Amino acid sequence: MSAMAVMMKKMGHQISGSDQNAYPPATDVIDRAKIKWFKKHLASNIENPDLVIIGNHIQQENPEAQEAIKRNLKIISLPELIGQIFSDKKRIVIAGTHGKTTTTSLISWILETARTNPSYLIGGIMKNTDYGFKLGKGIFFVVEGDEYRTSFFDKRPKFFHYKPNIAVLTTCELDHPDYFKNFTEVKKTFSNFLNLVPDNGMIVAGIDDKNVAEIFKKIKKPKISYGIDKKADYCAFDIEFGKKTKFKVQKKGKFFEEFEIQLSGVINVQNCLAGVAVVDFLGIENRKIKKALASFLGTKRRFEIVGKSKGITIIDDYAHHPTKIEKTLAASRTKFEKNKIYCIFEPHTYSRTKALISEYGKAFNQADMVIISKLMPARESDQKPTIQSKDVVSEIKKHNKNVKLIPESSEIIKYLKLNAKKGNVIIVMSVGGLNNLAENLKKEIKK
């Protein structure tokens, strides 16, 4: 939403907006663009606009939505607007339960360094550019596709509006239990998304994920696969982890290229493979792909090392699904093999936490110490709590005894100042950033 606001300003439109739960880095982007925004939802915020763009977390009872409806103003959802604005581009849409943001950033960066002048819209900030969007003059538009509902007036998944020429599916797991009735519905939604690709397009799927592999087999459209699995069309092998990650790729059984990246973990090798498969299909030369991957710095709040204080490494991460937590901690262990790892986690939404509680219990085994903060209800803040952070702690204790409940970020800082030592690693996992906890820790530990 923040990226689109800035893009529309660049197109010459006058923009204002509101979000009572806004936080960095999105607010940094808005402020830098000097866009007026309100920290509360009030009917008076709606002045005299030509268009009202409504985000998917806004309910019909919202005072601004009510005001727009009452005044019969033109209303549109964000995904529908995106679909309309970029309808003349070749659309590359990246979907999946995990890996969307990094993979979207990677593909955008490869196309950018290959001088194709792409447009892109990412659900995060690319560290190479310090932005998550670009309005380019080239033919390609790269966008992160979300399976969640479009808006209160359009229950379809967001990515249905993007009409992909190339569709990427990274992973497929149960998420958004407040929207999907069951996992069968999730798989059906991703399958329907892939089937939107025209016969002259391409589906790119990560078959290391067994659910993606199952969907991939049934799809009759043009398709290519990627993964560590030797059956994949683009297969990574001879993977070496260190200060940098090195791996080789074979394409349909024949050597393709050797790559070096600055990111850690198997999950990022898989993300890179998705990018390689897409841009190779588009005809980008190997040397350009290699150069782009080597220079890619990652995305903010995706395993972002924000700095060191007194020899303690502090990492900020967006992980909130159990599998992503597990894979991020596994990547941490490959990079910090012998270091003590503290993991601070903020549970996100009642529905997700309750539906996946047993998976959360098993997700933190690679952490030496786990700290659970108070639960962030987000879009469910007006609902009666159905689960609490103490329940997450109880579940984790079945698998990892070293877990504590510390509800407030200020108390977490006090605890870590007392207990974290030189050489330790602190990973903050939170959608909202826990009041900018990672950056605050970096400052406070120095004192």
149-174 pLDDT, tens per residue? 999 999 999 999 999 999 999 999 98
What pLDDT does residue 25 have? 76
For residue 280, list its beta bridge partners: none
| The pLDDT of residue 22 | 80
Nearest-angstrom CA–CA distance, 355 and 439: 31
Cβ atoms of 4 and 22 closer than 8 Å: no
- The Cα 83–Cα 88 span in angstroms is 9
* Whether pLDDT at 121 is above 80: yes
Give the whole-angstrom CA distance, residue 355 versus residue 359.
Answer: 9
Pick from 289, 230, 290, 239: nearest CA to 265: 239
Using pLDDT thresholds of 50, 70 and 90, give the confidence band for residue 295. very high
Q: What is the pLDDT of residue 238?
A: 97
d(Cα 360, Cα 445) in Å, to the nearest integer? 29
Which pLDDT belongs to residue 57?
A: 86
pLDDT reported for residue 359: 94
Confidence band of 21 (pLDDT split at 50, 70, 90): confident
When pLDDT is averaged across residues 388-413 and rounded to a whole number, the result is 96
Can you tell me the distance from the alpha carbon of 15 to that of 34, in angstroms, rounded to the nearest whole number?
10
In angstroms, rounded to a whole number, what is the distance separating the alpha carbons of residues 311 and 213? 43
Q: Domains in the chain, ordered, with CATH?
A: 2-73 (3.40.50.720), 81-295 (3.40.1190.10), 304-446 (3.90.190.20)
pLDDT of residue 136: 95
CA distance 154 to 48: 24
Mean pLDDT computed over 256-263: 96
122-158: per-residue pLDDT in tens? 988 899 998 889 999 999 999 999 998 999 999 999 9
**Residues making up the chain, counted from first to last:** 447
CA 140 – CA 91 distance, rounded (Å): 6
Report the C-alpha gap between 22 and 231 in whole angstroms.
43
* Cα dihedral 115, 89, 104, 379 in deg (nearest 10): 140
Percent pLDDT > 90 in the chain is 83
pLDDT band of residue 379 (cuts 50, 70, 90) is confident
For residue range 423-432, list pLDDT tens digits in order.
999 999 998 8
Is 90 exceeded by the pLDDT of residue 381? no
Cis peptide before 25 (omega within 30 of 0): yes
User: Residue 175 pLDDT more than 80?
Assistant: yes
Residue given tokens 């979000």 in the structure block: 19
Q: If you search the block for the tokens 């967001």, which residue do you land on?
A: 158
